[in-house]
Amino acid sequence: MLLTKTQIEQHNDALLTQHQRNFEFISGNIPGIEGVIKKLTDFQVAIPSWALGNGGTRFGRFAGRGAPSTLEQKLEDVGLLHQFNRSSGAISLHIPWDIPKDATALKQLATQLDLKFDAMNSNTFQDQPGQAHSYKYGSLQHIDKAVRKQAIEHNIEVIKYGQELGSAALTIWLADGSCFPGQLSFRKAFNNTLESLGEIYDALPEQWKVFVEYKAFEPNFYSTTVGDWGQSFLFASKLGEKAYTLVDLGHHLPNANIEQIVALLLNEKKLGGFHFNDSKYGDDDLTVGSIKPYQLFLIFKELVDGMDARGMDHATGLGWMIDASHNVKDPLEDLLQSVEAIKIAYAQALLVDAAQLETAQENNDVTLAQELLQGAYRTDVRPILAEARLRAGAALDPIALFRQLKVRDQLVNERGENAVATGL
Ligand SMILES: [Mn+2]
């Protein structure tokens, strides 16, 4: 299903007076408000195809209702989200969960929905039916060259699918590692992985990037072969200038200073992509901004600062993607919340007075530095986001409209109560 222009306009008209009051109140205090709105309008967050159905935990999966069961339906769901907020104009596909059968038709559908294909994701963390070799003991790190070769060929196949769709990046997340001390040689695992990544790197088309995602633990619980940003940075540096580190917020040990990691990776020109989610304990994959919104703001402050220092375009300089999995909420409502939380943190980061902060730092004025950051963080920027949406033809209150129109019930009517999404 898609929204009509009238549905959005009627919704906005009803909220317009109150919105204008809220927006005038905040905009009067913000110099350069038009620049902030422009940046918010340009900023798009890619939706991963696997976030559109209900995810699960290793204890089980609770089915949602009316989930998209084909790749076309997944695109339609993202197109629908994009109508609500005009901020999710890209989809990130996962192979083999989303193998495009007819790339030309799929590209046409994407154009119709005003969507782009973001980074492609490969999968060597689970075995597929009919696969010759198992990834039980790793993929690109495996001691057996035949297994490594199979995993390399899979990644090259993913690049080919991506080329057909107009994507320009490959994200590699490896589950490779070990569960017990002594299980593997750290050096051999690293060197095998580097050699395998090198073969994939050599297959990258012109203009393509490869993102090496790291994760501290899980599913391996003793060591992970790309376990932290240092290891990812090492791989990316050795591979070459098309290789970058990808930061997934949930892939750190508790209390890691992610904002510092982001600042240094940007400084070294090695930050390529970003996966948003939130967590309280580990890789919880909760809604962005639901647990640690201040940390999200601090990360965005470093992103804005680091990108400005290098003259990068905020919207296109890095790959922005949500990577979360939902067990209790409606996935589409959750994604609307996620995109909103990301843009709130981004808007707040844009409000930080960089010049004043620098002066405070030069004077060792710790109190003022904190005041400047928290002043921006404590600003309610939601009316600015709403104004950007209004001007872009999206909804002033996306979740309210989603509920008014009973979108989920309509999707159930179209797809059936028990439609299940492929993937997790
Ligand atoms: Mn991720």
Predicted confidence band of residue 422 (pLDDT cuts 50, 70, 90): low
Calculate how far, in angstroms, residue 250's C-alpha sits from the geometric centre of ligand 1: 8
Distance CA 81, CA 88 (A): 7
Environment of ion ligand 1 (residues, CB < 5 A): 248, 275, 323
Calculate how far, in angstroms, residue 178's C-alpha sits from the geometric centre of ligand 1: 19
Q: Which residues contact 212 (CB under 8 A, 6 or more apart)?
A: 172, 197, 226, 232, 235, 236, 239, 243, 244, 245, 246
Distance CA 303, CA 201 (A): 26
Q: Is the confidence at residue 405, as pLDDT, over 90?
A: yes
Calculate how far, in angstroms, residue 251's C-alpha sits from the geometric centre of ligand 1: 8
Q: Name the DSSP letter for residue 132.
A: S
Calculate how far, in angstroms, residue 355's C-alpha sits from the geometric centre of ligand 1: 34
**DSSP codes of every residue in 194-257:** HHHHHHHHHTPPTT-EEEEE--SSSS-SSEETT-SHHHHHHHHHHH-TTEEEEEEGGGS-TT--
SS3 183: coil
Q: Name the DSSP letter for residue 137.
A: T
Calculate how far, in angstroms, residue 173's C-alpha sits from the geometric centre of ligand 1: 7
Q: Is the confidence at residue 58, as pLDDT, over 80?
A: no
Taken in order 229, 203, 195, 93, the sign of the CA dihedral is positive
Say what the pLDDT of residue 102 is. 97
Calculate how far, in angstroms, residue 275's C-alpha sits from the geometric centre of ligand 1: 5
Calculate how far, in angstroms, residue 283's C-alpha sits from the geometric centre of ligand 1: 9
Question: Cα dist. 47→110, 165, 309 in Å?
Answer: 13, 16, 28
Region 357-378: mean pLDDT is 98
pLDDT digits (tens, 9 = 90+) for 11-31: 999 999 999 999 999 999 999
Helices (H) and strands (E) in the chain, counts: 15, 13
Calculate how far, in angstroms, residue 409's C-alpha sits from the geometric centre of ligand 1: 30
Predicted confidence band of residue 326 (pLDDT cuts 50, 70, 90): confident
Say what the pLDDT of residue 327 is. 81
Calculate how far, in angstroms, residue 244's C-alpha sits from the geometric centre of ligand 1: 14
Q: Is the confidence at residue 424, as pLDDT, over 70?
A: no
